Structure 1
Amino acid sequence: MKHSILAGREVSTWSEEWKHECEVQMLAELPLARRNEVFDEPGKGMKFKRGEVAVAYLRAEVDRYAMLRRG
């Protein structure tokens, strides 16, 4: 079990919640230009693979994660 900033509680490290938190944390740590490449790179970015709705959700989660980290 680990504390999840996004969930605000302990979660299993085997859970989808933890998987999501790790992905959001990794994205949040990237410089903005690189993060935008990961999201938007034509033909292979997340937008291509997961769709615009998923990327919009991840962008919002990255912002929320950063806000929660700042306290």
Structure 2
Amino acid sequence: TIGFALRNLTSIEQGLGELLRVLKPGGVVAILEFSRPVVPLFRRLVGFYNRYLLPWIGGVLSGSRGAYQYLPDSISK
């Protein structure tokens, strides 16, 4: 699995190639990624969720709110 990390790879092709190289035959790849929506209204709604709700929910579930405060900033770049 890989989550919230594709945008941090210097080469997506190399990163995915390595992921596939180590994948067992019949294995499954799961990728979770965020991006900025194009539609302005949806962008505002998602921005609100990312900025306020995601850090709170992530903090409650994981005990590490800081990790989920970084995420919205990295999505907007």
TM-based fold match above 0.5: no
Q: TM-score, length-normalised on structure 2?
A: 0.41
Q: Kindly name which structure, 1 or 2, has the bigger radius of gyration based on alpha carbons.
A: 2
